[in-house]
Structure 1
Amino acid sequence: MAQETAQQAPTTAHTAPARALLPLILPAALVGVVASLVFVGVSTAAEQLQHVLWGPLPDALGVGRYSVLWMFVMLVATGFAVGLVVWKVPGHAGPDPATLGLDARTMPPVVLPGLVLATGLMLAGGPSLGPENPIIAVNVALAVWLGRRFLPRTPGALWPVLAEAATIGALFGTPLAAALVVSEALAGRPMRGRLWDNVFAPLTAGAFGAMTTTLVFHPTFDLGLPTLGHPHWQDLVAALVIASASAVLGMCAVYAFPYIHKAFLGLRHPMLMLPAGGLVLGALAALGGHLTLFKGLSEVGVLARDPEGWSAGQFATMAVVKLAALLVAASCGFRGGRIFPSVFVGTALGLCAHALVPAVQPALGVATGVLGILLAITRQGWVSLFTAAVLVASPAVLALLCIASLPAWLLVTGRPQMQLRDDGTPIR
């Protein structure tokens, strides 16, 4: 009888006492501040170098800042510069970036200077990648190394989680993104205690990372598009179609990824792979225009400020070219992440839908376009929903995004991801 009663009793997770969580606040806060300062430092240095390379330098040479010639010169030169770092700098700027995602592996400290230098050169030179993957990798390595050295009593497995959460909070300017990513990662692992107990320290790190970035860097993701009004049935249909179409386009790049990577890997040397990638990126920039350069966040703002300024064909061209540039840059060895250029692709697709069907509101098109492409490229459901929502800052779009994510997720789940194993096969 006692055994039957025990089997019928509800199972509840034990809540961690406050004394178990309080010692985690200081390490989490320190990681949050340091991770944000690393991100801000690399981003600021890269922006200053970009300003020189794409402003006073071509002006002094009498060459148009975004002329076809200068875009070719800069992208090939960036390939040579990053290739030299990968070839000669100790640590070779880390492992093949095609094998890395947001969940960074811990690297030895000797790798970090080369990885930071390669990332800064890439951000300034114009390839279509963002800072997220390498910055997370740098912050994870720093947190593990410094944490074990100065706070050895803190569990070693905690440092990578804190660094990832802190960097994501710093990148997006809010700890909510970090909490969502951590909760998604915890969903597939056995947990001790309640979810909020497990999220407490990462959320603290994300909050301090986000606050530090907000205070010193003033980031914003709101594109300032007209607010979506009361949704109608036609808005739901548009959301389903755009998100699904965007996810299908993203999956085209995902399926092509291992083949493009293998083609560049066949060149067998970074001083051949990266300049060749720069050459292809120069051709793509000549086709798509200068807005398809760089990580894409500032360029997304340019598109959003004038949704009527380009035709549907031009928006579609920019979306396809940017996705191809992302694919090439991630395959040939440039160190960078894929979230920010994917946001540009989704924005261009959404505005293309608006140009084709004016009844599709720009905010709805952008949000659902970004949602679909991010689901395909990152396979991170919460990040995709969160990013799509904050771009348009419209409460009415949330329900539409949740519904639109369902068919888009069915199109991408269980299929190859845009991340490779060490042997070159895609992760599923």
Structure 2
Amino acid sequence: MASLNPALVPLSLYIHMPWCVRKCPYCDFNSHAVPDGKLALALEQTYLQALVEDFKTQVEFAQGRSIHSVFIGGGTPSLISAKGYVWLFSQLKNILSFEENCEITLEANPGTVEHDPFAEYLQAGINRLSIGVQSFNAEHLKRLGRIHSNHDAIYAIQHAKQAGFERINVDLMHGLPEQTLEQALHDLKLAVENGATHISWYQLTIEPNTVFFRAQPILPVEDVLEQIQEQGEAYLKANGFINYEVSAWRKEQPSAHNMNYWQFGDYLAIGAGAHGKVTKPDAVYRFQKTRLPKDYLAKTPAEHLHLQAVESKDMPFEFMMNALRLNDGVPARFYTQRTGQPLSDLDELLSSLRKRNLLVSDENRIACTEQGHIFLNSVLEEFL
């Protein structure tokens, strides 16, 4: 592997807030229900302090870079107060600089238990919201274990706009238990008509270690799933949304943070269960933090920072698994810059995929064709 130059790789920050009001039956994320649906102030303060100490142990990985974007995921990050975020950002920026106009996204649930009004999160420095709606249908929300109503979801989007947020992502799932084509399209319609500027629209998958895995619900048949996908895409395109990644649709600029993931950029990671990726001159490394909040808080930050180098043989798959999700692919130079391997090592495989009309690749760009996106999993298997 050639020597890598971290300066050529953007650096983001992922912050994990591990608590939620109630665990949803489809959810396999690292989230833990809080008693009475509220996070105690003492626990909030203890956790935020731990995040700062965690961040300090990762400064060496910046290697001269500033933070390009921040994503606060969970759990339900809006259980943390706006005041808490003001303090957190001030501490983090004292440790490592943030780029000017750094995109800072907060995941929020539209339930009635939001900690503070959206305007206060905006004032705290958060400039993009990702609202976990999943569905506007009352019956589907109940089946999914969501704590909000369809009215809560509509109000949340409208309230975020009124508060001054110009960038509002709405998370929506389709292929829900016993969902019809009409219901799936109506969910999209309500997101669009109420002001979403970005929509993450993805099919429900049943993951191990979830309630749905243990007691599987009845999902729509394949024909219905295909109709939902086809007509949903047509509706979004007709309403001015651009599909720039497998499940991401935008009316505004792409999510800077997610683009950095997909382009094989670097990201520091703080919080219980958070995953990070960093480039050093000798290799690309991944790491993951202790999952349980109580264990995370009990350890010193250095105790749960264990770097694992990505093996040279795994690098093509690791890179392509992200890059080929983007409709426009990535600049070809990113492959060598971000893996340390010459793209010419893949000449034979890339040629084969081009001949089968699955891939476009030249000295400028690597991307899946429309056909390649349909068979994306099969394309990716070629790089294993």
Relative to the length of structure 2, the TM-score reads 0.30
Which is strand-richer, 1 or 2?
2
- The structure that is helix-richer by fraction is 1
Flag the structure with larger Rg. Answer: 1
When the two structures are superposed, what TM-score results if normalisation uses the length of structure 1? 0.28
Q: Which structure has the higher relative contact order (CA within 8 Å, separation 6+)?
A: 1
